[in-house]
């Protein structure tokens, strides 16, 4: 009943904006039920409660471990800490959204508020996805090597396609601004023009250096992810891997600094001193989402690499946990909520006059892929529950805390350098020599 009450509270909360037809009459419109928020809120509350129960069981096991199982005790404490952090993320995002919808305060909005709030949407959904994936990893569904290769290839192709679209599309607006201001400035005499005459060689230099830096970032990220999958955090922390990664990151950072601090201001002086359009809240949300994504990748790599080593471990390595995301009611609510969101967005797109362009935009909306991921994960877990495979015990994979922290810092550095590098490459892509053609 408590979880249902939380869900109804999130589903019946009013927004800050009011209907003018009601406002002219002197009262607010009656609240309507947002079934997506209601169902996902109730399921999230159940998942948070289950994660807290799991933390209590894992910590009890860690405190009872003897000194001869010190690596396992470290692994248990890390498992408990990560689950507690995940529960805090989900509960915090829900609380912020509920308080804003109840008009306790308003979130700051940036100049560009198109994709919605990161914390109350994407970070919340990502937390639920991680909880579902953790339960799925413990259930260990088996599939053939060929099937895993095909699915992995399709997923990587889709991810790269979406990433390329985001980079190129978002940089298209600065490019249009650049071409407009440069066209206006072209009416001045060449001696007083603010824009230097760019030759084809200059344009190829900008595009070539940007492509080289972006390719290097993609290559070193793929190299580290493969090492994480095969050897876990220890594979990322090899001296040779660290040296290669640091050299490439320094080179990419140098390119990003040269472009943003020197080249862009030289070729487009109107951009000098212009920062990001988003507010500090959006920046904090983006950093939080990136940190959660890096932690999730390391957690998956840690367990995937240690699975083979723990198959013959003593019985103490396997720990039965209370239900969290494996709860059949929570799985049903999550899957129905995802379907509702997808259907609502598709119906809204279908009813729009410019349906063709909106469908293309819908396919590249982050919310579309979040909902598809939640639906697929919840259906997978329900199928495993039906077959009697889930819930499954937790396998305590030994881990060195120093390697876990070092690999987190290294992957976070790759992501931090990738953001300005790809932003620079996106602008230089539109500024390439083919725009004259």
Give 25's pLDDT tier (boundaries 50, 70, 90). Answer: very low
Contact 46, 329 (CB under 8 A): yes
Among the ranges 13-17, 19-23, 134-138, 354-358, which has the highest mean pLDDT value?
134-138
Tell whether the model's pLDDT for residue 132 goes beyond 90: yes
- For residue 113, the model assigns a pLDDT of 46
Residue 23: both structure tokens together: 């406002």
Is the pLDDT at 21 greater than 60? The verdict is no
Residue 188's Cα: distance from chain center in Å? Answer: 46
Burial of 191 per CB tally in 10 Å (0-12, 13-18, 19+): exposed
User: What pLDDT is stored for residue 118 in this prediction?
Assistant: 83
Phi-psi region of 232 (alpha: psi -120 to 50; beta: other; left: phi over 0): left
More confident residue, 62 or 167: 62
Q: Is the pTM of this model over 0.85?
A: no
Phi/psi for 104 (5° steps) reads -75, -35
Which pLDDT band holds residue 29 (cuts at 50, 70, 90)? very low
Query: Cα–chain-centroid distance for residue 198?
Result: 38
pLDDT at 8 over 50: yes
What is the per-residue pLDDT for 16? 41
Neighbours of 435 (CB within 10 A): 11
pLDDT band at 314 (very low <50, low <70, confident <90, very high): very low
318-349 pLDDT, tens digit each: 888 999 999 999 999 999 999 999 888 777 76
Provide, rounded to the nearest whole percent, the portion of the chain with pLDDT above 90: 30
pLDDT at residue 374, rounded to an integer: 93
The 10s digit of each residue's pLDDT in 211-254 is 999 999 989 998 998 888 888 898 899 898 999 999 999 999 99
What pLDDT sits at residue 434? 63
**pLDDT at residue 110 greater than cutoff 90:** no
Whether the per-residue pLDDT at 60 is higher than 80: the answer is yes
Q: Which residue has the higher pLDDT, 372 or 154?
A: 372
Residue 254: partners with Cβ closer than 8 Å, 6 or more residues away? none
Dump pLDDT digits (tens) for 155-207.
666 666 666 666 666 566 666 777 777 666 666 555 555 666 556 777 788 88
Q: What is the pLDDT of residue 322?
A: 92
Report pLDDT for 24: 45
The count of other CB atoms within 10 Å of the CB of residue 418 is 21
Q: Calculate helix-pair angle for 200-231, 239-258, nearest 10 degrees.
A: 150
Q: Which position has the higher pLDDT, 300 or 140?
A: 300
Confidence of residue 27 (pLDDT cuts 50, 70, 90): very low
Return the bridge partners of 395, or none: 318
What are the pLDDT digits (tens) for 257-298? 988 888 877 777 766 655 555 677 877 888 898 899 899 989
Mean pLDDT check: name the lowest of 47-56, 61-70, 392-401.
61-70
pLDDT at 316: 47
Q: Write down the mean pLDDT value for the chain.
A: 78
Average pLDDT of the residues in 343-372? 69
pLDDT at 106: 79
């Amino acid at each position: 009943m408590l979880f249902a009450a939380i869900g109804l509270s999130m589903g019946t909360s009013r927004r800050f904006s009011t209907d003018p037809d009601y406002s002219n009459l002197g009262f607010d419109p009656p609240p309507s039920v947002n079934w997506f928020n209601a169902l996902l809120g109730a399921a999230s509350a159940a998942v948070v409660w289950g994660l807290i129960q799991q933390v209590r069981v894992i910590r009890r096991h860690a405190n009872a471990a003897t000194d001869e199982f010190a690596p396992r005790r470290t692994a248990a404490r890390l498992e408990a800490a990560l689950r507690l952090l995940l529960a805090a993320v989900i509960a915090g995002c829900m609380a912020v959204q509920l308080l804003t919808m109840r008009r306790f305060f308003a979130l700051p909005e940036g100049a560009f508020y198109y994709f919605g709030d990161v914390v109350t949407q994407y970070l919340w959904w990502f937390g639920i996805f991680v909880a579902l994936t953790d339960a799925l990893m413990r259930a260990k569904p088996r599939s053939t090597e060929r099937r895993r290769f095909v699915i992995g290839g399709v997923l990587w192709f889709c991810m790269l396609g979406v990433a390329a679209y985001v980079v190129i599309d978002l940089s298209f607006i600065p490019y249009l601004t650049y071409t407009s201001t440069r066209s206006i400035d072209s009416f001045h005499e060449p001696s007083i023009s603010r824009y230097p005459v760019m030759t084809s060689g200059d344009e190829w230099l900008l595009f070539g250096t940007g492509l080289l830096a972006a390719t290097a970032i993609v290559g070193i990220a793929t190299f580290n992810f493969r090492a994480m999958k095969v050897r876990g955090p220890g594979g990322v922390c090899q001296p040779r891997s660290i040296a290669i990664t640091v050299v490439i990151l320094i080179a990419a950072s140098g390119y990003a600094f040269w472009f943003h601090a020197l080249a862009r201001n030289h070729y487009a002086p109107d951009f000098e001193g212009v920062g990001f359009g988003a507010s500090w809240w959006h920046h904090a949300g983006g950093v939080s989402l990136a940190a959660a994504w890096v932690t999730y990748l390391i957690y998956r790599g840690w367990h995937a690499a240690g699975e083979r080593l723990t198959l013959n471990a003593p019985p103490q390595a396997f720990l039965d946990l209370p239900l969290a995301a494996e709860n059949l009611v929570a799985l049903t609510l999550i899957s129905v909520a995802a379907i509702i969101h997808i259907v609502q967005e598709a119906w809204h797109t279908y009813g729009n006059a410019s349906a063709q362009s909106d469908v293309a935009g819908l396919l590249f909306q982050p919310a579309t892929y979040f909902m598809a991921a939640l639906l697929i994960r919840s259906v997978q877990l329900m199928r495993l529950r039906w077959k009697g495979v889930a819930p499954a015990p937790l396998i305590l994979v030994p881990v060195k805390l120093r390697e876990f922290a070092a690999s987190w810092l290294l992957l976070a550095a790759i992501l931090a350098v990738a953001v300005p590098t790809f932003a620079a490459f996106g602008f230089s892509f539109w500024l390439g020599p083919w725009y004259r053609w």
